Amino acid sequence: MLILASNSQIRHEMLAAAGIAVRIVAPEFDEGPVKKAHDGEPEMLARLLAEGKARSITVAEDALVIGSDSLVTVEGRRYSKPRDREEAAAHLRSFSGRSMALTSAVALARSGKIEWSHAESAQLHVRPLSEKFIKAYLDAEWPEVGHCVGVFRMEGRGVTLFERIEGNHFTILGMPLLPLLSALRERGALAS
């Protein structure tokens, strides 16, 4: 049995598209203290958050719990999901013309213990964004992008924010899927 400890629709869709059946359970994990205490590399923070989500679900011993998280940094500043549309616009202004580092992590836990975790990053080069564009973009994409740390959905109009993208597609969507599939095969949860 596989459980996805996530409220993210796109993570569920990624697994479903790969033919992976999961039960979705909302994680019972407070990210705030972990984010506040962390002053190291984004990859480590993303792993800590993914691991915290995976450990937060206690179920049958044979179940594997998948936890995942993503974070965005621009020029060393870490961004969280916007609290409202005004903050989303402020984030977009701040991203304009800059390179955004998007880090995604995934973890597997069994019986509350982490068995495996992985993090990787992608670089997304945001083109200069005008106020007119930001308004039109948020008119079309709000409130959906309010649930996204970078204020974008690649499966939506978010692709129009960028000049160039370097990194794995699945990492950008919010979960390093290929390493996860390998880890699931190694544990016998998927056929090899």
Least confident segment among 44-53, 54-63, 164-173: 54-63
In this predicted structure, the answer to whether residue 155 has a pLDDT above a threshold of 90 is no
Percent of the chain with pLDDT over 90: 91
φ, ψ of residue 180 in degrees (nearest 5):
-65, -45
Number of domains in the chain: 1
Q: Is 139 a catalytic residue?
A: no
Q: What confidence score (pLDDT) does residue 77 get?
A: 94
Which domain does 145 fall in, by range?
2-186
Q: What confidence score (pLDDT) does residue 114 get?
A: 97
User: Which amino acid does the sequence have at 136?
Assistant: A
Judge whether 74 lies within some domain: yes
The angle, 0 to 180 degrees and rounded to 10, between the axes of the packed helices 85-95 and 131-141 is 130
Judge whether 191 lies within some domain: no
pLDDT confidence bin for 190, thresholds 50/70/90: very high
Percent of the chain with pLDDT over 70: 100
Buried b (16+ CB within 10 A) or exposed e, 107-128: bbbbeeebebbbbbbbebebee
How far does Cα 183 stand from its chain's mean position?
18
The predicted model gives 81-91 an average pLDDT of: 97
Kindly name the residue from 39, 69, 84, 139 that is annotated as catalytic.
69
Q: What confidence score (pLDDT) does residue 62 get?
A: 82
CB contact at 8 A, 55 and 63 = no
Look at the block and give the residue holding tokens 């598209």: 17
Q: What confidence score (pLDDT) does residue 103 get?
A: 97
> What are 118's strand-pairing partners?
106
Judge whether 109 lies within some domain: yes
Judge whether 148 lies within some domain: yes
Closest CA to 51 of 62, 74, 67, 73: 67
The predicted model gives 70-94 an average pLDDT of: 96
In this predicted structure, the answer to whether residue 61 has a pLDDT above a threshold of 80 is no
Judge whether 113 lies within some domain: yes
Q: What is the CATH classification number for the domain harbouring 21?
A: 3.90.950.10
Rounded to two decimals, what is the model's pTM? Answer: 0.94
CB contact at 8 A, 53 and 117 = no
Buried b (16+ CB within 10 A) or exposed e, 26-49: ebebebeeeeeebeeebbebbbbb
First to last CA, the chain: 17
- Residue 168 has what DSSP assignment? -
The predicted model gives 9-32 an average pLDDT of: 94
